[in-house]
A = this chain, B = another copy of it.
Amino acid sequence: MATIRDVAKLANVSTATVSRVINSNGYVNDETKKRVKDAIQQLNYLPNDVARSLFKGRSKMIALFVPDITNPFFPELARAVEDVTNQYDYTFVLCNTDNDIEKQMDYLNALQQKSVDGFIIVSSTIKKEHLQHIQVPIVALDRIISSDISSVTVNNRSGSRQVVQYLKSIGCQRIAHVAGPEHVDNAIYRMRGYLDEVKEEAWFNSSYVVSGKYNFDAAREAAMALLSELPEVDGIFAGNDLMGAGVLNAAASLGKNVPGDLAVAGFDGIAIGETLTPTLTTMAQPIYEIGAKAAEILMTHIQSLEHHVTAKEYSVKLIERQSTMKGGF
């Protein structure tokens, strides 16, 4: 690989001049500029980013922490972040954390040693204290970390209320909830939204809420038990789509017709909802948008070196599909 010195030599100038040319910085005579550009071309010269990073103390890299990229909610988020990252000529580092605090701390350190310029973090275990030693901007995504860290989220609670209202509106009389993990804030908001709408109902009691841990299998099991125990349930709001799929599968196994006997709605709006049979009604997040927004905010923080906290909350939107279309399916 050619270096700046090779270029300088070939163009008969100093390295400073070459640097000025490649960075369009300071005055350079048009004549010499051309000589330098020719030399660059001829040598196929590309500046060494590592040397630049060392000098500048910044690397033009940002990192995204997700619990697990194989969870179908995250790829779209990652895609959005990568697209924006790339658009700003930054490099995108992906870290699967499994929500393990130690793993996250290791990543934070390792990446700081690499002068990573910022972090976008989806985590339900990282707290403000864990980030005290981080010198670069951070944006929390999907889940809030603390009020002094910028965040991008959705209206989980009111969105969930809307789902339940919708289920009522199509005629459901007994609506159960398959909830996400208790230690994940958005799962709690979704459950609260559900409770807001049902806690005053005469029929309601706590056995209408079961735990599905945000995954397919657990939700399937939970729904099997729930539907056996409370056969009068005619509507289920699953805290995410993956659990919604589990509920559909459980219903099929029990010979329950969806949506005839049972209406099912999920939350998130991930792509697989459309591939299921019946297709799954869901309260959709603008997943790509929130990912892209988080990246944009991070870029703003990085470039201004200013830390004005912004907390953006997007609205979710109901997408009606076969799993609740009592008339049409």
A residues with a Cβ closer than 8 A to B are: 1, 44, 46-51, 53-54, 59, 61, 68-70, 72, 74-76, 78-79, 82-83, 86, 89, 91-96, 109-115, 133, 135, 216, 242, 245-246, 248-249, 252, 271-272, 274-277
**Cβ contact within 8 Å between A94 and B92:** yes
- Interface pair A276/B274, CB less than 8 Å apart: no
B54 with A51: CB separation less than 8 A:
yes
Q: How far is the CB of A212 from chain B (nearest CB, A)?
A: 13
Bound state CA distance, A73 and B118, in angstroms?
A: 28
- Give the nearest-CB partner of A110 in chain B: B91
Measured between beta carbons, the chain B residues less than 8 angstroms from A110 are 49, 89, 91
Which residues of B have CB within 8 Å of A79? 68-70, 96
Residues of B within 8 A of A274 (CB): 216
Whole-angstrom CA separation of A72 from B110 in the bound complex:
29
Chain B residues with CB under 8 Å of A272's CB are: 72, 272, 275
Sample of 18 further A-B pairs with CB below 8 A, known A50-B113, A91-B111: A46-B113, A48-B113, A49-B110, A49-B113, A50-B115, A51-B54, A54-B54, A69-B79, A70-B75, A72-B75, A74-B75, A82-B96, A89-B110, A92-B93, A92-B95, A216-B275, A252-B277, A272-B275
